[in-house]
Amino acid sequence: MSEIPAIELRKINKSFGPVHANKDIDLVVKKGSIHGIIGENGAGKSTLMSILYGFYHADDGDIIIKGKKVTIADSKAAIGMGIGMVHQHFMLVDNFSVLENVVLGAEDSALLAGGLSRARTELKRLEEEYELRVDPEALIQDLPVGLQQRVEILKALYRSAEVLILDEPTGVLTPAEADHLFKILDVLKNQGKTVLLITHKLREIMAVTDTVSVMRRGEMVATRETGNTSMEELAELMVGRSVLLRVDKEPAQPEAPVMEVENLTVTDSRGVQVVKDVSLSVRAGEIVGIAGVSGNGQSELLETLSGIRRATSGTLKIHGESIDLGTSTLDAADMRKKNMGHVPEDRHRMGLINSFTEYENSILGYHRDPAYSRGLLMDLAAIKKNAVAEIEKYDIRPPNPMLKTANFSGGNQQKIVLAREIERDPEVLLIGQPTRGVDIGAIEFIHRRIVELRDAGKGILLVSVELDEIRALSDRVLVMFDGKIVGERGSNADEGELGLLMAGVEDNRMTAEGGVQ
Residues that bind another protein (CB under 8 A): 16, 21, 44, 46-47, 50, 53, 55-56, 74-79, 85, 87, 89, 91-96, 100-101, 103-107, 109-113, 115, 155
Nearer to another protein, 140 or 288 (CB): 140
Q: Which is nearer to another protein, 91 or 353 (CB)?
A: 91
Q: Please give the Cα distance from 473 to 451 (Å, whole number).
A: 7
Nearest residue (CB) to another protein, 18 versus 375: 18
Q: Which is nearer to another protein, 116 or 221 (CB)?
A: 116
CA angle in degrees (0–180, nearest 5) for 461-462-467: 145
CB proximity list for 461: less than 8 A, separation 6 or greater:
259, 280, 282, 288, 290, 302, 305, 428, 429, 430, 431
Q: Which is nearer to another protein, 45 or 347 (by Cβ)?
A: 45
Q: Cβ of residue 165: shortest distance to another protein, in angstroms?
A: 11
Q: Are 170 and 201 in contact (CB under 8 A)?
A: yes
CA distance 313 to 263: 7
Q: How far are the Cα atoms of 370, 383, 401, 508 from residue 374, in angstroms, in the given order?
A: 7, 11, 21, 58
Nearer to another protein, 78 or 305 (CB): 78
Q: Tell me how far, at minimum, the Cβ of 181 lies from another protein, in Å.
A: 20
Which of 20, 189 has the CB closer to another protein? 20
What's the distance, Cα to Cα, between the start and end of the chain in Å? 61
**Considering the complex, what minimum distance in angstroms separates the CB of residue 115 from another protein?**
7
Collapsed DSSP state (helix, strand, coil) of residue 225: strand
Residue nearer to another protein on the CB measure, 372 or 408: 408
Closest separation between CB of residue 39 and another protein, Å? 12
Put residue 318 in one of left, alpha, beta given phi > 0 → left and psi -120 to 50 → alpha.
beta
Closest distance of CB 119 from another protein, Å:
12
Taking the C-alpha atoms of residue 65 and residue 4, their distance in angstroms, rounded to an integer, is 9
Nearest residue to 150 via CA among 123, 125, 175: 123
State the number of CA atoms in the 13 A half-sphere of 337 facing the CB. 9
Quick count: other Cβ atoms within 10 Å of Cβ 167? Answer: 20
Secondary structure class of 154 (helix, strand, coil): helix
Least Å distance, CB 396 to another protein, is: 19
List Cα–Cα distances, 124 to 140, 142, 282, in angstroms.
Answer: 18, 20, 56
